[in-house]
Homo-oligomer: A and B are copies of this chain.
Amino acid sequence: MKNPFRPDTSKILPGQREIPQYQKFAEQMRSLILDGSYTSGQRIPSEASLSKDSGLSVLTVRQGLSVLVDEGLIVRQTGRGSFVTELNWLKASFTVGGLEEWIESHDFKASMSSFRVYEAQSPVTTLLKVPPKTPLGFIQHRLMVHKDTLMLHEGYVILDPKRPLLEAELAISFLIGVVKGVQGLIKGASLEMKPHLLSDNEAQLLDLDVGAPAFSLDYVFFDAAKEPISCGSFICPSGSIKLCSRVGIPIN
């Protein structure tokens, strides 16, 4: 059955898909929140009344509201209603930027600077859930573009006889694996970003001053069974990556 409510899009040029109704609706509601018509903590009208007022179906209204939920502008509570949230940077999520160009670059490569077997000690034993003195692979990398060292990496990997790791594989798995995940092996990661001061050795390798500010990205990798495979950290000088976020109103 032809839907009589659907706007006639036949006159719209091909390739010029019009903005979806739910996005228009979301935009409208966003304006009302941002210009103060609805203030923080205030309840906004119910789906039913918004649907009635806007002439849109309840589901379309809901879809629009879910956009605002994703943006963190409102929260929804079953049986109570939807409420305007307070702006709070504690709930901001920071994304990593500034590395993609280098990673995609053909000149990007990881050179392994050392590999040896190491007997597990704390805190690695805790992170990898292995007993003390378990033999682990210890590897160090320099992540480079041309002749410049962008980041340093060092990590420990569990030496599983059922999963033999050649040095070449390590070089690949740690680089690609850590950045993009090893196909069929690494299925998840737990990450923490910490502030870090470059040591003498690190500063020399990175051609920076001792004590220069950097991020330390500490990670633990897991397999599909949620068992740890490897752990380690990347030393990222402040120039190599950015950690940015936006909250509230979207700024271009």
Contact A181 B34 (CB under 8 A): no
Produce 1/0 per residue, A208-241, CB < 8 A to B.
0001011101010010101000000000001000
In the A-B complex, the 8 residue pairs with the closest CB atoms: A87-B181, A188-B249, A188-B248, A195-B213, A93-B93, A193-B243, A191-B245, A195-B195
- Bound: A179/B226 CA distance, A: 35
Q: Does A96 contact B (CB under 8 A)?
A: yes
Contact B243 A189 (CB under 8 A): no
Stretch of A18-26, A35-43, A50-58, A106-114 that contacts chain B: A35-43
- Bound: A99/B247 CA distance, A: 17
Q: Does A161 contact B (CB under 8 A)?
A: no
Q: Does A186 contact B (CB under 8 A)?
A: yes
CB distance from A83 to the nearest CB of B (A): 14
CB distance from A134 to the nearest CB of B (A): 21
Contact B189 A248 (CB under 8 A): yes
Produce 1/0 per residue, A64-102, CB < 8 A to B.
000000000000000000000011111111111001100
CB distance from A217 to the nearest CB of B (A): 8
B residues in contact with A99, CB < 8 Å: 90
Report how many copies the assembly holds.
2
Neighbour of A251 across the interface among B91, B222, B250, CB < 8 A: B222
Q: List 21 A-B contacts (CB under 8 A).
A: A36-B184, A36-B224, A87-B188, A87-B189, A88-B180, A89-B96, A89-B179, A90-B96, A90-B100, A91-B95, A92-B96, A92-B191, A188-B249, A190-B244, A191-B244, A194-B213, A194-B243, A195-B196, A195-B238, A222-B249, A243-B243
Contact A187 B86 (CB under 8 A): no
Contact B189 A246 (CB under 8 A): yes
Chain A residues 197-217 with CB under 8 Å of chain B are 197, 211, 213-215, 217
Q: Does A183 contact B (CB under 8 A)?
A: yes
CB distance from A20 to the nearest CB of B (A): 13
Q: Does A119 contact B (CB under 8 A)?
A: no
Q: Does A178 contact B (CB under 8 A)?
A: yes
Q: Does A144 contact B (CB under 8 A)?
A: no
